[in-house]
């Protein structure tokens, strides 16, 4: 009974916070699918990541707010997309104009092969990852899952990013966070850790941005 009461209080508090959240209200007003779009928007505006004509990969894209933002940023005056966005998620996602969607598990070789085939050999300007694992509540296991997703994103970026490309991933302050940042530093000339205003204070999430991939020779120094 006590556990049920605690859960009900938590749900009520979360719902109250959600309904009064300014980013939720803004997302509804601007017709975005989730408040998460304002995390990307803040990072993009500060670092000038997204420009028309780019090839962009959006990992962990559902429900699609980031893909919506990308589509709008790449749209020309006539509304047509200048560039290409490929979105991928384990969950289904409602269509977004101008965005190619692949449903699959990024951890599986078959899904990665499908994504790479969709690139048709083209190099990528920006890789975005809002992927997060299902958390078990066991700190060591959850940290390992978070690190694994980060490693997969870094591997993909290493193989496909242009020389002036960028990788942005969502991570969390866990036992492996410093290792993830260190790998970014090995792989990119500039690395930033960012806590956007739209990221709730109580959340352990933090975004890691890598700019300008190092050459093989530079990454071994």
What pLDDT digit, counting tens, does each position of 78-98 carry?
Answer: 888 899 999 999 999 999 999
Residues 67 and 133 occupy one common structural domain: yes
96 with 24, same domain: the answer is no
- Residue 189 annotated as catalytic: no
- Paired tokens of 198: 């739209």
Please tell me the pTM assigned to this model: 0.89
Residue 13: pLDDT band (50, 70, 90) is very low
Read off the pLDDT of residues 113-169 as tens digits, 9 standing for 90 and up. 999 999 999 999 999 999 999 878 888 898 999 999 999 999 999 999 999 999 999
Residue 7 has pLDDT above 70, yes or no: no
100 and 39, same domain (yes or no)? yes
Binding residues for S-adenosyl-L-methionine: 64, 66, 89, 105, 130
Measured from the Cβ of residue 209, the count of other Cβ atoms closer than 10 Å reads 19
Residues 190-208: tens digit of each pLDDT:
999 999 999 988 888 999 9
Residues 97 and 49 in one domain: yes
**Which of 126, 153, 141, 103 is closest to 43 using CA atoms?**
126
pLDDT in tens, 21-45: 899 999 999 999 999 999 999 999 9
Same structural domain for residues 98 and 16? Answer: no
- Same domain membership, residue 24 and residue 42: no
Q: Structural domain of residue 18, as residue ranges?
A: 1-31
Exactly one of 29, 41, 170, 192 is catalytic; name it.
170
Binding site, residues?
Answer: 64, 66, 89, 105, 130
The 3-state DSSP class for residue 204 equals coil
- pLDDT score, position 11: 46
């Amino acid at each position: 009974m006590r556990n049920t009461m605690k859960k009900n209080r938590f749900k009520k508090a979360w719902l109250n916070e959600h309904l009064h959240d300014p980013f939720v209200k803004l997302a509804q007003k601007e017709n975005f699918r989730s408040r998460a779009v304002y995390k990307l928007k803040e990072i993009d505006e500060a670092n000038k990541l997204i420009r028309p004509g780019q090839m962009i990969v959006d990992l962990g894209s559902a429900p699609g707010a980031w893909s919506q933002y990308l589509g709008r940023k790449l749209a020309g005056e006539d509304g047509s997309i200048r560039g290409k966005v490929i979105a991928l998620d384990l969950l289904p996602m409602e269509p977004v104009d101008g965005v190619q969607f692949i449903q699959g598990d990024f951890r599986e070789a078959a899904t990665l092969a499908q994504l790479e085939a969709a690139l048709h050999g083209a190099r990528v300007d920006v890789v975005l990852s809002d992927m997060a694992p299902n958390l078990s509540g066991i700190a060591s296991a959850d940290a390992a899952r978070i690190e694994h997703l980060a490693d997969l994103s870094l591997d993909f970026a290493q193989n496909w990013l242009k020389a002036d490309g960028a990788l942005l991933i969502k991570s969390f302050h866990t036992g492996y966070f410093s290792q993830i940042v260190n790998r970014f530093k090995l792989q990119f000339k500039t690395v930033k850790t960012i806590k956007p205003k739209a990221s709730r204070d109580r959340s352990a999430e933090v975004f890691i941005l890598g700019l300008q991939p190092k050459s093989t020779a530079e990454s071994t120094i």
